[in-house]
Amino acid sequence: MDTFQTPSDPPPANALTPQALHACFLGPYGENDTLLEKLVVEFLRDHVYWRRNFHPEDPPAIPTGAAQHPAYLELEARMRRELHALSAALKRSVPFHSPRYIGHMASDLLLPGLAAQLLTLPYNPNNVCEDAAPVTVDLEVKVGLQLARMLGYPADPDKRGCAFGHLTSGGTVANYQALRLALALKAFPVALRASGVAVEMAGACDAFDDDWQAFNLSVDDGIALVEQWQQWLATLSPEDATRWRVRVQSERIETLGLTGFFSRHPTLRVPCVYAPVTAHYSWSKGLKLLGLGRAQLSLLPERDMRLDADALEEALQRCVRARQPVLMAVGVLGTTEHGMIDPVDRIVDARDRFQAQGLGFSVHVDAAWGGYLATMFRNPDGSLRTRAQVGEGLENFPGEAVHAAFAALGRTDSVTVDPHKLGYLPYGAGAFVCRDHRAMTLLSEEADYVFNGPAADDYMTRFRQLGQYIPEGSKAGASAAAVYVMHKVLPLDHAQFGQLPRQTVLAAEAFRRRAEQAAHELSDVAHLCVPFAPDSNLVCVAINLAGNRDVEHANRFVRTLHDDLRCDPARPLQVKEFFGSMTTLRAASLGERRLRRILGALDLDPTSMGAATDHLVILRHTLMNPYLIDANNGISYIDRYFDYLSGRIRAFARAA
């Protein structure tokens, strides 16, 4: 029974208007307090009625007079004391909701998601499997399909190669899941070959005749092989099928471990992962966790702040020559430090070319930050929008390379997206989505047949046993409810959800213009510039006081500026005018020449950039708050921020 509408529902008739947007968030001032309160009270009562209606004939177990007992009152008082203390302490929290917060990747929360989460919490569903979450497991699998559609993956669960996605605690675990799946898929054909089954399975032996070939199939060939193997098993007697299953299982990397597997296949090297030099540290964590080791993470240089596709090409050529297998190439859609968009199109092109040369690997896009920007590129019918359509009313976005990157998402093998970042939902909601669900069977703790018998063919039935496939065990069904409801209220296309990231791009463009104006206004006391053209909604600003030529000194100055922009639990929140963050620029990201040009623009001496200081410290601003430009009151918090920053810079200049 499907009590929920499916992802193919007709979309809302009209685009999301600014007036409709007013109902989306609790608001910087808590403007929508009565709306949220109404929803919380309504659904809390609804929950209580549900409890009562389970067996209304059961009398209340807690006596009706219990609340008058002194011991009850004492405990209530203790509870209140602790809650008051907590509530008081939480006042020192970071004011993510405020348009004065332009630091890290956090902002206000979308009401439909927040309300759905609060509504679901007292039911406490556990999305480890449908027995513990008959409703919300379904919602989680559907969230996977909603995201798949946004990314351009096949999203019809009745079709064979449909995508699959699930939620995780965050992008870190989603990235880990991508590594786990890629390794399972890469090593499976080797196990199949070692078990001797490939010879038995008609046709499969055509695919490879040594370990190197088996370890280097393309993702699609690997998936086809898994499917062929399952179909072949179905033709055997139950005894034979079990015998072969056990034999293949005993050869799998998941059974043998890395040591066992590679010592059994001495001609194979441990595969490596390519990622850009600014990749999030979750990649290092993931390789350590998987046991492949941090040394297998090869960081590629960037060119103009994006992964250098030529460097990837050269690295892959070296791999072919050295017979060095590659597990995965990672592109980042919205780098954590700089918000830049890697050339996903060129990465998948390289994959296709090297696959033809016998070097198969998977392509994963870490879109923890930028994933939801894809809504701007999607029509309500699911088709891709042209660059001109996406860019209507915007100054630079999307650059040609940026559009090409988003257009290529459907050709990648898996993607990480964080609903708790640009999806404006509570932590922890990350998501992993793979293009073809058929690979997932390799991750299951027990073969599908144990659970589902022949019915395992049914997509929804299979993935309701979510715990079989995910790295975690017990997990919050309330998160799945939040993401699902948010996606239903604001469908993931440009006319609906896409209006939110569009606001962020508009804000970033306004921010950049204002930075250029500030540079002009401050030219008597400081050099200020936007060091690289932003790809999306993160804008960095580099600053140096006039007269200084030393990079280390400039870095110290920017750190001092940043001290006033960062969270400081020791001081009252209200003394803080704005929140910003800080990052660095290095030659490895920018290229030597461009870095020199920026140093020049700041009147810094390039020779002062030495071994001790190999980077330039810059301010970093995440422009995701929907109220940065408050049209209602005619206030631009972007203007106010630059007024504030200019005041600080002038004060330092006077003191110097």
Ligand X SMILES: *Cc1c(COP(=O)(O)O)cnc(C)c1O
Decide if residue 103 touches ligand X (CB under 6 A): no
Alpha helices in 357-442 (DSSP H): 387-390, 400-407
CB contact at 8 A, 204 and 193? no
DSSP-derived secondary structure letter, 584: E
CB of 368 to ligand X, least distance (A): 3
Question: Length of the chain in residues, anyone?
Answer: 656
CB of 10 to ligand X, least distance (A): 33
Give the helix/strand (H/E) hosting 601.
Answer: helix 592-601
CB contact at 8 A, 332 and 297? no
CB of 369 to ligand X, least distance (A): 4
Alpha helices in 434-550 (DSSP H): 448-452, 459-463, 477-489, 499-521
CB contact at 8 A, 397 and 391? yes
- Judged by beta carbon, residue 332 or residue 408, the one nearer ligand X is 332
Residues 32-71 as x/- pattern, contact with ligand X by CB under 6 A: ----------------------------------------
For ligand X, the binding residues in 349-388 under the rule CB under 6 A are: 366, 368-369
CB of 169 to ligand X, least distance (A): 7
Report d(CA 618, CA 602) in Å as an integer.
12
Q: What angle do CA 138, 143, 146 make, to 5 degrees?
A: 130
- Judged by beta carbon, residue 415 or residue 649, the one nearer ligand X is 415
627-634: list long-range contacts, CB under 8 Å, 24+ apart.
Answer: 627/27, 627/28, 627/99, 627/108, 628/99, 628/102, 628/507, 628/510, 628/511, 629/506, 629/507, 629/510, 630/99, 631/18
For ligand X, the binding residues in 591-630 under the rule CB under 6 A are: none
- Judged by beta carbon, residue 342 or residue 436, the one nearer ligand X is 342
CB of 121 to ligand X, least distance (A): 21
Decide if residue 120 touches ligand X (CB under 6 A): no
DSSP string, 265-289: STTPPPPEEEEETT--THHHHHHHH
Residues 541-580 as x/- pattern, contact with ligand X by CB under 6 A: ----------------------------------------
If you search the block for the tokens 């497991």, which residue do you land on? 137
CB of 289 to ligand X, least distance (A): 13
- Judged by beta carbon, residue 588 or residue 598, the one nearer ligand X is 588
Amino acid at 216: N
Q: Which of 204, 309, 332, 439 binds ligand X (CB under 6 A)?
A: 332
- Judged by beta carbon, residue 368 or residue 540, the one nearer ligand X is 368
Chain centre distance of CA 83: 33
For ligand X, the binding residues in 161-220 under the rule CB under 6 A are: 170-172, 175
- Judged by beta carbon, residue 342 or residue 493, the one nearer ligand X is 342
CB of 185 to ligand X, least distance (A): 22
Report d(CA 358, CA 323) in Å as an integer.
10
Mark residue 548 as left, alpha or beta (left: phi above 0; alpha: psi -120 to 50; beta: remaining).
Answer: beta
Give the helix/strand (H/E) hosting 86.
Answer: helix 70-90
- Judged by beta carbon, residue 218 or residue 589, the one nearer ligand X is 589
CB of 337 to ligand X, least distance (A): 9
Tell me whether residue 554 is exposed, middle or buried, using C-beta atoms within 10 angstroms of its C-beta: 0 to 12, 13 to 18, 19 or more. Answer: buried
- Judged by beta carbon, residue 429 or residue 598, the one nearer ligand X is 429
Tell me whether residue 17 is exposed, middle or buried, using C-beta atoms within 10 angstroms of its C-beta: 0 to 12, 13 to 18, 19 or more. Answer: exposed
- Judged by beta carbon, residue 282 or residue 504, the one nearer ligand X is 282
Residues 401-430 as x/- pattern, contact with ligand X by CB under 6 A: -----------------x-----------x
- Judged by beta carbon, residue 130 or residue 302, the one nearer ligand X is 302
CB of 345 to ligand X, least distance (A): 18
CB of 168 to ligand X, least distance (A): 8
CB of 101 to ligand X, least distance (A): 17
- Judged by beta carbon, residue 170 or residue 398, the one nearer ligand X is 170
User: Site for ligand X (CB under 6 A): how many residues?
Assistant: 13
**Comparing C-alpha atoms, which of 165, 364, 166 is closest to residue 282?**
364
- List the beta bridge partners of residue 538: 622
Decide if residue 280 touches ligand X (CB under 6 A): yes
Q: Which residues bind ligand X (CB under 6 A)?
A: 170-172, 175, 280, 282, 332, 336, 366, 368-369, 418, 430
